[in-house]
Every structure is written in structure tokens, then in C-alpha cells.
Chains A and B, each alone.
Chain A
């Protein structure tokens, strides 16, 4: 709704748009407890927001300017209501959401700021909720969102969806932001839980929007959606009902969401159109190899290693190198895996990452070096970021038994 209203009020009136949405929610809170929830709550909210918007436009039209693109049509009483109605039509809403998504990925904003802005404006997260989503503190997030909103409001107009070359130019930033958003939910580093389903859901919803627009539905977009679906499909096995983490080799594949797996496979096929091979393609392929394996042991680890080799070329990072090392350990044994881990470039960036220590712990355990394994797991425990991680590492430490000698 904020996206639609910003389109009507103009990007410089973003705060006003949000107030109107807030008003609609407040109104719902005033009425629904007494009258019951309407059959179609979103339609009700939309209608409330629309009516309020019309009130605001009438009341404020001498004091403010609204969207320059809509210009005169908001001035005249004759055209005011139809113009607003038109923006609330469903195809227009899709467009406005997409437009807002692209607008949030403003080139002057850093990646994390773009994601925070998307969560705040598009997904309706309050500042506190956005702060919970990232590891950063509330004050820092508040400042980041504030500054990002200023940048957005200062951009005079929202992104022009009609400009195909502009879409092509900004699409990678939008894809990257959605990837980061999904990742935040999937590999959550929040202090409350290891996985934040809502963030994954939002990312998938927004990626689906991208797929609907011909200019944005590139093979990379399909690959991105595929990897999200294939990862999300396996989440129910990765985290149990209490939110506790389960190691890969202990996961019950029967818990996988088969519909999401099927969707992921479909999207992966669609992503194979054309010569483009992006990091999303490779990551989706890795997820797919996991998904098609009957069990963790029966996984085609060789294939996974070669895919990680490719990923390392496209998007070199210590985390990718770590995951590759783990795959090599599966294929060639724990000694080789540990060698690879020791050879990771920029590994100092991993020292706060608990799973870096834990991976070494696992491999030492497999080599029978129990004391070394315990040390690593204790390090991991010290770096744990939430109760689920703590419990997981505690169990690993316990699995090593008491220290010898």
C-alpha cells in the first residue's frame, strides 16, 4: 500500500504515504474487534487507505504538491477519484510494488541500506523489527533507514519502470538485495533464532514480483527464485519445531516441502534460457544437487565441489571457500577438508563465524582427534549468536565426551 500511495503522493511525500497506511491499520483496529474480521481483510484495508488518501488529497492540494507524473489529474475534483481508483487496481499495485523495489535499490545506497529500506517500506517492518532482522543494533539501523529514506525522498521521482535500459542497469542491485534478504532469514544471525522464516517469505514474494515483469524476468531472476525455493523447501528438516538446528547428516528428508522443491526445479529449468551464468545459477544448481540426493551420504559431492569451484570464480568469498572445503571433505576425507580450510584466502574474515570453527571440529572428530574437535566446538560455542546455535554446539561438545588425560 505504501508503494501505491507513494506513487500517488510522490516520493517526496513518502512519510505521508506511510501515515495514511498507518491510519488504515489503526482504523481496522478500531472497527474489527467489534465487527469481526472482514472476509477480505486486505481489500478492506486497501479501501480504507484509498478513502483516506482521497481525503488527504482534497485537504492538502493547496498546501502541497503531489506526484509530478500525475500532475493536473489530482487537482481537479473531476479526475481526482478516478485517478486514485486507477492506482488501486491490481495490475497497477503490482507495478507500484515493483517500482518501489527498484527505487529502494538506489545507487547511492549501500547494499545493507537497500535491504533495510525494502524491509521498512515494502514489507512494512518497523525499525525495531528491521533491527531484529540484522545483527546491527537498533540505533544504527534507525540512522541507516532514516538516511536511506532521505536519499529516496530526495530522488524527486520514483524509478521509471518504462525505461528498459534503466531496469537492466538496476536489476543486479535488486537481485542482490533480495538475495541478501533471503540469506538473512535463512542463515539468520539474529539473537533470537537461527532461521527467520518471514524474511525468506518476503524475499520469495518480491522475487515472484520480479518474475512477472518482462523487463525484470531475466534468467538470473529465475535462478534467484529457484535457489530460494530449493533452500526454503529444505528448511523444515534443517530446523525442528522448537527452532533447534539439525545437522545435515541427521536431517529427515521426509520433512522437505515437496511443492517448493517442484517449484524450484521448474524455476531452475526456466533459468537455463540463454548464455548467462550467474552466481545465482550456480548456487541454485548446488541446492538442486542436494535436493535430488536420496540421502546426505548419497549426495553427488564431486558435482558440488565443481560447482563451488565455479562459484568461487564468480563470487569469491571466504564463506564460499569454506562450503567448498566442507564438500571436499565429503568427497576426499577429513584430512583434505582441513587442508582446504587452512588454505582459505582472507580467512580472518571468518574468525567470528561459529560454523568456521564448527566445521573444523566436525572434521577433527571424523579423524578421531577428539580433543582437537572439542576445542573447536568450544570455540564455536563461544561465538554462538542465539539459543539454537548454543544448543547445537553444546550437543557437539557433549558428543566429544570428557577430555582425555
Chain B
């Protein structure tokens, strides 16, 4: 078993209160399912979209990142799976796809 990170990006805003409730329920169900089956290591956290970017030799601190909304990472989750293919498969249950978002699946380095 290895660890993988799901990075969530690009979800569209829900269109109404009823929508939001349904989407919420789906997220809860998906996390619960992952947890029940032993795949969920750390539910993770949501991330503010505006932060700081520190760069260069001078270690300049600027406001950022100012990427397109669809490119910004909104949150992460840590899961355990037997390989990358399985991890990617597990991400398919995420409700973010219904709102045109995507999940980046990245293995955590072992060595």
C-alpha cells in the first residue's frame, strides 16, 4: 500500500441552495465510503485561494498565486491505495466532476 494525494481543482459554483445541499451530501457519502473501505488516511483541508508566493534567490514575497480559478488547488485529501491506478479509480467517486472540476492524483514519494 502507498499513499496518494488528491488535489481538488476547478469546481464551478453551485446554482442554488438545493444544489449545494445535494452536493454536500455526495461529498459526505464519498468520504464515508472511502473511510469505511480503509482507503482514507486524512480527510485533508480546504485551502484559501489567495495566499503568498515566495520566490527567487531574494525570496521575494508577493501576493498570489494568481492563476485561473480552474487551476487553483482548493483542497487536498490523503489516501492509501495499492497503486496509482487504484488511487485514480478511487477518485472517480468525487462529486467535483459534476461541476466540471478535476482531481489531480499524485503519489507521495517513498524514498
Chain A residues within 8 Å of B, Cβ to Cβ: 22, 25-26, 28-37, 124-126, 128-129
Q: Is B10's CB within 8 Å of the partner chain A?
A: no
Q: Mark B6-50, 1 if CB is under 8 A from A, else 0.
A: 000001011111111001100110010000000000011110000
The answer for the CA separation of A77 and B45 in the assembled complex, in Å, is 33
The answer for the CA separation of A37 and B32 in the assembled complex, in Å, is 13
User: Which of B13, B15, B16 has the most chain A CB atoms closer than 10 A to its own CB?
Assistant: B16
* List of B residues within 8 angstroms of A31 by Cβ: 46
Main secondary structure of the interface of B (DSSP, over half): mixed
User: Which of A29, A30, A125 has the most chain B CB atoms closer than 10 A to its own CB?
Assistant: A29
Q: Is B93's CB within 8 Å of the partner chain A?
A: no
Q: Is B74's CB within 8 Å of the partner chain A?
A: yes
Is the CB–CB distance between B20 and A28 below 8 Å?
yes
In-complex Cβ contact of A33 among B15, B16, B18, B28 (8 A): B28
* List of A residues within 8 angstroms of B44 by Cβ: 34
A212 to chain B, nearest CB (A): 23
* List of B residues within 8 angstroms of A124 by Cβ: 16-18
Is the CB–CB distance between B27 and A33 below 8 Å?
yes
The answer for the CA separation of A37 and B28 in the assembled complex, in Å, is 9
Interface size on B, residues (CB 8 A): 21
* List of B residues within 8 angstroms of A29 by Cβ: 11, 14, 20, 23-24, 27
Main secondary structure of the interface of A (DSSP, over half): helix
**Closest Cβ neighbor of A30 among chain B residues:** B46
Chain B residues within 8 Å of A, Cβ to Cβ: 11, 13-20, 23-24, 27-28, 31, 43-46, 74-75, 77
The answer for the CA separation of A31 and B19 in the assembled complex, in Å, is 16
**Closest Cβ neighbor of B19 among chain A residues:** A126
- Using A33-B31, A34-B75 as known contacts, say yes or no to A129 and B18 having CB atoms under 8 A apart: yes
The answer for the CA separation of A371 and B21 in the assembled complex, in Å, is 50
B53 to chain A, nearest CB (A): 21
* List of B residues within 8 angstroms of A126 by Cβ: 15-16, 18-19
The 8 A-B pairs of least Cβ separation, nearest first, read: A33-B27, A126-B16, A124-B17, A25-B20, A30-B46, A126-B15, A31-B46, A26-B13
Is the CB–CB distance between A32 and B13 below 8 Å?
no
In-complex Cβ contact of A32 among B15, B18, B19, B24 (8 A): B24
